[in-house]
């Protein structure tokens, strides 16, 4: 048994970290898309309505990571996690949940922004292909966000499937298990930053390339899929290590 106040302290700090870090990256990414759209409007004022629409769709997709963090943040604030029977396990898992989704949204916020911004730049260069480019932009952003979904998965599991702390454990065991729960959140959070940014860069370049080719868009898209599948592998290693830290130890 611990004081429920300690669990609340952990939940509030964790909610702040989750929403703060996720918003930071999403702000940069959305700004990049707006910059790309403005640059293209200057070049092609005739299609400004299509560019404006693409910009808004791209920014909405970029905001996904921040919205997922907001959901976790609200759950941490109002989800009623103050049962003192949870003990230090609960304190640690709430902290891990916020760190996982907060750090995990950094990569996709920036990556989806780069993908969308370069799609808008490509639309300005080749206005005829704006439908193909919009589709490719959304695919690229979805690929970039898949790593944030891993972070969301770990975050929800930390919130809802960590056990209550059994009575009468040695303090060392409690410390070990609690540290493992926080480490699980940090691992998937940091691990999905790189893949999110990398897939975003890849999708951005593929948009510029689709604007450049006369035919053979499919070849570029195929390479984008293969490349992003390989790029995700490191995030999957982080996911495995997170699961091991949460359940095996």
Partner 1 sequence: MDMTLIVKAASLLGAGICMGLGAIGPGVGEGFVGGKACEGIARSPEHAGLITRTMLVGQAVSESTGIYSLVIALLLMFSV
Site residues for partner 1, window 115-174 (CB under 8 A)? 170-173
Residue 175 engages partner 1 in binding (rule: CB under 8 A): yes
Question: Residue 66, interface with partner 1 (CB under 8 A)?
Answer: no
Q: Considering only residues 42, 166, 176, 247, which one is a binding residue for partner 1 as defined by CB under 8 A?
A: 176
DSSP string, the chain: ---HHHHHHHHHHHHHHHHHHHHHHHHHHHHHHHHHHHHHHHH-GGGHHHHHHHHHHHHHHHTHHHHHHHHHHHHHHHS----GGGHHHHHHHHHHHHHHHHHHHHHHHHHHHHHHHHHHHHHHH-GGGHHHHHHHHHHHHHHHHHHHHHHHHHHHHHHHSPPPPPTT--HHHHHHHHHHHHHHHHHHHHHHHHHHHHHHHHHHHHHHHHHH-SS-HHHHHHHHHHHHHHHTHHHHHHHHHHHIIIII-
Considering the complex, state which of residue 83 and residue 233 has its C-beta at the smaller distance from partner 1.
233
Task: Tell which positions 22-61 bind partner 1, by CB under 8 A.
Answer: none
The span from the CA of 87 to the CA of 193, in Å, is 31
Q: Which is nearer to partner 1, 66 or 235 (CB)?
A: 235
Name the segment binding partner 1 (CB under 8 A); options: 17-25, 59-67, 125-133, 234-242.
234-242
Among 125, 186, 243, 247, which residue interacts with partner 1 (rule: CB under 8 A)? 186
Taking CB under 8 A as the rule, which mask of x and - marks residues 95-114 in contact with partner 1?
Answer: --------x---x---x---
Q: Measured from the CB of residue 8, what is the shortest distance to partner 1 in angstroms?
A: 24
Return the number of the residue (41 or 189) whose C-beta is nearest partner 1.
189
Provide the binding-site residues for partner 1, judged by CB under 8 A. 103, 107, 111, 170-173, 175-176, 178-180, 182-202, 204-206, 208-210, 212-213, 216, 219-220, 223-224, 226-228, 230-231, 233-235, 237-238, 240-242, 244-245, 248-249
């Amino acid at each position: 048994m611990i004081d429920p106040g300690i669990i609340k302290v952990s939940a509030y700090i964790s909610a702040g970290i989750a929403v703060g870090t996720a918003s930071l990256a999403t702000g940069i990414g959305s700004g990049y898309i707006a910059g790309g759209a403005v640059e293209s409007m200057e070049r092609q004022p005739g299609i400004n309505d299509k560019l404006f629409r693409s910009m808004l769709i791209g920014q909405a997709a970029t905001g996904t990571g921040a919205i997922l963090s907001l959901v976790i943040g609200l759950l941490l604030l109002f989800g009623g996690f103050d049962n003192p029977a949870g003990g230090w396990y609960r304190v640690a898992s709430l902290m891990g949940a916020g760190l996982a989704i907060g750090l995990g949204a950094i990569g996709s916020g920036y990556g989806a922004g780069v993908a969308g911004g370069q799609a808008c730049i490509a639309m300005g260069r080749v206005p005829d292909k704006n439908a193909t480019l919009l589709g490719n932009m959304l695919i690229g952003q979805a690929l970039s966000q898949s790593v944030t979904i891993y972070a969301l998965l770990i975050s929800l599991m930390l919130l809802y499937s960590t056990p209550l702390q059994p009575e009468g454990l040695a303090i060392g065991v409690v410390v070990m298990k609690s540290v493992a729960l926080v480490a699980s959140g940090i691992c998937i959070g940091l691990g999905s930053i790189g893949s999110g940014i990398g897939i975003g860069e890849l999708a951005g370049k593929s948009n510029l390339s689709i604007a450049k080719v006369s035919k053979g868009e499919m070849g570029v898209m195929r390479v984008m899929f293969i490349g992003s599948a390989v790029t995700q592998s490191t995030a999957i290693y982080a996911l495995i290590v997170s699961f091991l830290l949460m359940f095996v130890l």
